[in-house]
Structure 1
């Protein structure tokens, strides 16, 4: 496989690698960094790829191993060694204490925002939130499934607007 063909194959794989990077990192910026690092490593090691084998699997393996290496490096940075006679390893991140106050405020605001929804939107939204499928909601409320989807969409949109202060 020529360098140009390999580069083209890599560019075709980025769409399927991005969701995997998001699943690993749970952050858009970190996922983009991981994807870029994976593609760079793959390109630099293209001579190690055996033509005829699964390029996608090879890239997923590179991404997974890169993520693990970066994670281990981050954990080591947060650990320091006590140089006294006992030589204890102490993880400095364990000393952080959270009181969950911010989460309690957010939950209170979310519940208030849901309570302020019109009943026509709140009922299908809460049924969907509790795990009902669209067709089950439509059957119980005796309305068309398209109406159910529309009302849930409107409820989400209104909640998003009411809770915009929590946008990241």
Structure 2
């Protein structure tokens, strides 16, 4: 088989490569690159093609092997980007000084307001604040579920009214 005949056969049978390449890569640009590499390897290894065999199967095998080799290469040597956002180093928490004074003052103020709540609201609210579910609080205090929900709601309203921040 002459080089011209082989080239014509490649061109005539290369149309089926596009959908196969897209199904392998899931990206149209990578699929184009894969097709181009397949055609290059087919031309470079023209002497390995046996006349009379299925050219589509031969091209498909070349494409599949290229894809698998590229996948393994990319998995082994994952690409590392040096594109670091400008703010990354500026806002690293390991270099930030913390001032817990304001936080502690705020917590003391909140605890003081919670302790001044009427007992009927305070107990329900504290249990809810500790993470108990409404039904668990109702079972513990032996009260109806709706009563517990309304007590917690009123406790929140009182707290939000008494806390200025």
* TM category, shorter: 0.3 to 0.5
If the length of structure 2 is used for normalisation, what is the TM-score? 0.47
Larger Rg: 2
If the length of structure 1 is used for normalisation, what is the TM-score? 0.46
Where relative contact order (Cα < 8 A, 6+ residues apart) is larger, the structure is 2
